[in-house]
Amino acid sequence: MTTETATIEQLEAAIKAHEKREEDLIAKYGPGTKYNRTIKKGSLDWDAEAKKFHVTIECEDCGTPVKVYTSDLFQKGKCEEHAKEARAARRKGKAKVNDNISLTEAKAQLAALKAKLEG
């Protein structure tokens, strides 16, 4: 649909469809849902290059407006900076304890280290 060939009716229908799509997204991802995204009203638009819809949400940590493809709404709720922080925190939390050592050996090494520390 290009501007040259679209009729008033078609354009009005397209605008209505945008509004409806946005309402549906807010119902699915907005406040009170498990995603709890703050979707800015009237921000839904079509990205002709990416061929995807996007909306503007507020970062759940700092409130910065963030452009998000609607297909990413389920997994993206933060600005770049806070998404990076959250990823780093997740990695840290998952840091694996190496238990691939014999218990006797671990206890012996621990006792030796402690003895060293205590001088």
> φ, ψ for residue 79 (rounded to 5)?
-70, 170
Nearer to Zn ion (CB atom), residue 26 or residue 79: 79
Q: Does 59 bind Zn ion (CB under 5 A)?
A: yes
Which single residue brings its beta carbon nearest to Zn ion?
59
Smallest gap from residue 54 Cβ to Zn ion (A): 18
Nearer to Zn ion (CB atom), residue 38 or residue 43: 38
Q: Given candidates 62, 89, 106, 111, which one binds Zn ion under the rule CB under 5 A?
A: 62
Q: How far is residue 26's CA from residue 20's CA, in Å, rounded to a whole number? A: 10
Q: Does 79 bind Zn ion (CB under 5 A)?
A: yes
91 neighbors 71 (Cβ within 8 angstroms): no
**Long-range CB contact pairs, 82-89, < 8 A, 24+:** 85/61
Q: Are strands 65-69 and 52-58 parallel, antiparallel or unpaired?
A: antiparallel
76 neighbors 68 (Cβ within 8 angstroms): yes
Smallest gap from residue 38 Cβ to Zn ion (A): 12
Q: Does 73 bind Zn ion (CB under 5 A)?
A: no
What residues line the site for Zn ion (CB under 5 A)? 59, 61-62, 64, 79, 82
